[in-house]
Chain A
């Protein structure tokens, strides 16, 4: 009896592509009951690249992130994350893969019965491979990255909205994941706090070269990311010299009616002739 076809036999081209990219979406269709949210979307996220996903409310932006993480299963299509097809994996295998991925949820999704220290240390404690001292050290490092080391023993309810997002970022990066997924990290925040979050994302992109998918409603945040870089010596975000935007690994996707209608960099987005995109970015 012939052996069942393997993943490699089924789609050799995508597997090669999947290995070169951090995330690959291939003709993904997703519906919630009778509402089709994604209607055959395809895109690639290269290693080290940050891609911002835009679209109106209900266009399936957050769904894309949950699909990439394997929290949802698509009706059709394939999703490759770090070379593995998450659509074909069972929950047990996905737990292993998710250890290489960090996710920042829309409202932070911190565990409200745990302190900031326990929230940030959660993944390390679950893995059980690090000593108490190492966990403490890495928790402090992560919180220092988001400039919230003083909140160690506080509970999420005692933090402001912006602080909760920053703790969520600290929790997501503690194991230095290969891929980071941000779900509206600046949504509902004031401009100053939003800039702080944007700076952290840029820092993660430029210092650790982490591949990231970012969902946002705020176009100006993504343009800031595309026009700035993180200066390690001065430890702050600085604008790029004029004409050097292409040097930043930052691209954009625009979703409309369940399809990708734009996939390119900031310059291409600004130059787009598409009426819908022009209206969206104006």
Chain B
């Protein structure tokens, strides 16, 4: 019941209308994603904005990505230890951590952390610009917001997530090494030797393709929800939450498909 004594009623949307809205959203998102790529080949290119975004996304996310990967590597080593010791294969812990981190956990964790931090940031920043008419003002001043705001964010996120994942993988392996040597009493040299030798081209390739896909998802989803914000400050909050949820779900879902696709391609 509202202050004036009125009853708030939930508006029902017909299934046809709902389906139309969803199809329209997918169409708009696809258009935004396509334009974000094609704008890379059109002038003007906003190098300064790309560098600024790279700094914000890359260096800004570095500590949390490294921390998340380090502790995940350590936890992976701990969890694997009990199983491996049952088979007397504790010395293989380096292999297990290495494969797990490089192929899967490094890219997904880095993606999820960057999604939580930057999808929300992009959605709230662009959403605020929408509700205060700054995006309209930009268009009125003869500047394409897709070129000025979206493309630099997409390019920077793809590039920086790639490098963040490499560093995250390394920190994950260090986390595993700390557990292996300090808690399990394994030889550090043996750990690194196992971890290194077990990796083949397919593992590294898979681990480095994923961040490119995830980076693209994070930035395009963040920008899409930001630029389609409706309903003032409440709408900005909603767009921010939806962007994070959508980016995270998509990363996890797309990971399955990318993994399967790369397995088929690489044999």
Hey, which bits of chain A sit against chain B, CB under 8 A?
A: 66, 69, 71, 91-92, 95-96, 98-99, 101, 103, 105-107, 109-112, 122-123, 126-128, 171
Does the CB pair B140–A112 fall under 8 Å? no
Closest to B135 in A: A109
Kindly state whether residue B28 has any CB partner on chain A within 8 Å.
Answer: no
Kindly state whether residue B136 has any CB partner on chain A within 8 Å.
Answer: yes
Report which of A71, A110, A111, A128 forms a contact with B140, defined as CB distance below 8 A. A71
Does the CB pair B134–A71 fall under 8 Å? no
Does the CB pair B141–A123 fall under 8 Å? yes
Cα distance A126–B139 in the bound complex, in angstroms: 12
Some 9 contacts from A to B, beta carbons below 8 A apart, are: A66-B136, A71-B136, A91-B144, A96-B142, A105-B133, A105-B137, A107-B132, A109-B132, A126-B44
Report which of A91, A107, A122, A127 forms a contact with B133, defined as CB distance below 8 A. A107
Does the CB pair A128–B134 fall under 8 Å? no
Cα distance A107–B132 in the bound complex, in angstroms: 8
Instruction: Write the nearest CB–CB distance from B39 to chain A, whole angstroms.
Output: 11
Q: Which residues of B contact A71 (CB under 8 A)?
A: 136, 139-140
Does the CB pair A95–B133 fall under 8 Å? no
Instruction: Write the nearest CB–CB distance from B215 to chain A, whole angstroms.
Output: 23
Kindly state whether residue B193 has any CB partner on chain A within 8 Å.
Answer: no
Q: Which residues of B contact A107 (CB under 8 A)?
A: 132-133
Q: Which residues of A contact B137 (CB under 8 A)?
A: 103, 105, 109-111
Q: Which residues of B contact A101 (CB under 8 A)?
A: 140
Does the CB pair B142–A123 fall under 8 Å? yes
Hey, which bits of chain B sit against chain A, CB under 8 A?
A: 44, 129, 132-134, 136-144
Does the CB pair B141–A98 fall under 8 Å? yes
Count: A-B pairs, CB below 8 Å: 53
Cα distance A92–B38 in the bound complex, in angstroms: 14
* Also in contact, A103 and B134, with CB within 8 A (given A126-B44, A128-B44): no
Closest to A122 in B: B141
Does the CB pair A69–B140 fall under 8 Å? yes
Does the CB pair A105–B136 fall under 8 Å? yes
Q: Which residues of B contact A106 (CB under 8 A)?
A: 133
* Also in contact, A109 and B134, with CB within 8 A (given A126-B44, A128-B44): yes
Does the CB pair B132–A126 fall under 8 Å? no
Closest to B128 in A: A112
Which of B133, B138, B143, B144: most chain A CB closer than 10 A? B133
Q: Which residues of B contact A69 (CB under 8 A)?
A: 139-140
Instruction: Write the nearest CB–CB distance from B134 to chain A, whole angstroms.
Output: 5
Which of B132, B138, B140, B142: most chain A CB closer than 10 A? B140
Q: Which residues of A contact B144 (CB under 8 A)?
A: 91-92, 95
Does the CB pair B139–A98 fall under 8 Å? yes
Q: Considering the complex of A and B, which 7 residue pairs feature the smallest CB-CB distances, nearest first? A: A109-B137, A109-B133, A103-B140, A99-B142, A98-B142, A95-B142, A123-B141
Report which of A98, A99, A112, A123 forms a contact with B132, defined as CB distance below 8 A. A112
Q: Which residues of A contact B138 (CB under 8 A)?
A: 111
Q: Which residues of B contact A111 (CB under 8 A)?
A: 129, 134, 137-138
Does the CB pair A112–B134 fall under 8 Å? yes
Q: Which residues of A contact B140 (CB under 8 A)?
A: 69, 71, 98, 101, 103, 105
Instruction: Write the nearest CB–CB distance from A102 to chain B, whole angstroms.
Output: 8
Instruction: Write the nearest CB–CB distance from A92 to chain B, whole angstroms.
Output: 8
Apart from A105-B140, A107-B133: 18 A-B pairs, beta carbons within 8 A: A69-B139, A71-B136, A71-B139, A95-B139, A95-B144, A98-B141, A103-B137, A105-B133, A105-B137, A106-B133, A107-B132, A110-B134, A110-B137, A123-B141, A123-B143, A126-B44, A126-B142, A128-B44
Cα distance A88–B44 in the bound complex, in angstroms: 24
Does the CB pair A126–B136 fall under 8 Å? no
Cα distance A282–B86 in the bound complex, in angstroms: 92
Q: Which residues of B contact A128 (CB under 8 A)?
A: 44
Q: Which residues of B contact A109 (CB under 8 A)?
A: 132-134, 136-137
Q: Which residues of A contact B44 (CB under 8 A)?
A: 126, 128
Instruction: Write the nearest CB–CB distance from A15 to chain B, whole angstroms.
Output: 24
Cα distance A192–B97 in the bound complex, in angstroms: 71
Instruction: Write the nearest CB–CB distance from A189 to chain B, whole angstroms.
Output: 17
Instruction: Write the nearest CB–CB distance from A96 to chain B, whole angstroms.
Output: 7
Cα distance A69–B133 in the bound complex, in angstroms: 14
Cα distance A107–B134 in the bound complex, in angstroms: 10
Instruction: Write the nearest CB–CB distance from B132 to chain A, whole angstroms.
Output: 6
Q: Which residues of B contact A171 (CB under 8 A)?
A: 141
Cα distance A111–B149 in the bound complex, in angstroms: 13
